[in-house]
Structure 1
Amino acid sequence: MFKDRTAYFAQRFDTDALSEDTKDAVIGANLPPVSFGRIVVHTRDQIMIGNQTAPSTFTTDITYESAGHGLVRRMQSVQSNGFEIETRFDLQYRGYVPFLTQEVPDNAVVLPPVMESRKVIHFDAATEGHSNFSYLYGASGRPTSQSPSQFVCDSGRTYGAAQINPAISGEALELDCQAINGNGVTFSKMTFAYLKAYGIALPLHIRNTSGGFDSTITGFTVQ
């Protein structure tokens, strides 16, 4: 599928790949960049889908790179029983607010569409307290939604980030977030650990209409 996955990641998941409206909102917010160049994370994930009686186990290799303006590029390789099954690409604000997302199964013949934030309605950049990101979105090549979706977060307890993995420095701030569709229905609930020393959030737990996800951080390297 990819002649050069790294080059595709760098070119297609950057500030310049955003819609003009979204790009103007991000740049106009004058947000500081994250405090790292590149971070590599390894995880072991337990995932429940549908009527499964026991979770499936997957491992992932995730690369985060600074994209400026508080944004990060995220490339995630998912493996099952030692075989790669999917690659996911994201452009996010500090690892949790979505701007661009694409999931590519290993057996894909053509590239699936990219889910895009087309127009930002409201954007709270603060991680402490309550924050709301409201936006109009669409899949590449398809019309833009007419009703805004929301990504809403509330911060919780602060704890030592080494509890997540001994290689992580500083403190972690718990973020409880909800993804809400244009009809006002919450379709996913997520818990992140926002790593204050690096300015990035790692997903730890997800619950949605199709199942659940619990992630253990098995490796963390700043490069």
Structure 2
Amino acid sequence: MVSLKKGLFVTFEGGEGAGKSTQLRLLADSLRARGYEVLTTREPGGSPGAEAVRHVLLSGAAESFGVRMEAILFAAARSDHVEEVIRPSLDKGIIVLCDRFMDSSRVYQGITGNLEQSFVESLERVAIDGVVPDRTVIFDLPASVGLERAQRRAGDDNPDRFEKEQLETHEKRRDAFLDIARRDSERCRVVDATQPVEAIAAEVLSLVEALLPHGDGTDTSAEEAVS
């Protein structure tokens, strides 16, 4: 097992149907094959407290209370997730891969929820308490393509709280994610999610390998990894 002095935190962002979950799983498999300890998680959810909030949010049960209440619930779930799962794992030198994190709140509740930026930033500051991703991969594709994929994936299941929204709203979110990537180009990388799955996986792996010891994905002893 390759040992790291400090864990690596990678988040996966993008619109509905962008393929985040598939790519997260493929990256986890690749890193584990190279000897790294990897934790995969998601938002909303990822910890017992956050999972309790997940159904309330995605079912739409909180929708009638307004986007401000939803944002507060997302922040509460994120705080529990960070303190109970993410921070302890990073402290142990584990690579943490998370399906959605703070950027989703910036986009979904902030931009298309029309919440004031100061409110969103205050919630984020409390929720993450200094735990910022080392790398955020934003999967980009036209909203119409993503929604079609999401509908095929859901099959006979009802769309969740966010999948059922209008195409115009999803396109606005796509633009917002790209704007985040432009503003924080050191942390964020945009990947063309219309490519074949294997091509995307190779690109994502290269983006993460660059942050690992030696940055080349070659087998590395534990002693070398922590030197």
TM-score (norm. length: structure 2): 0.28
- Bigger relative contact order, structure 1 or 2 (CA pairs below 8 A, ≥6 apart): 2
TM-score (norm. length: structure 1): 0.28
Higher percent of residues as helix: 2
Higher percent of residues as strand: 1
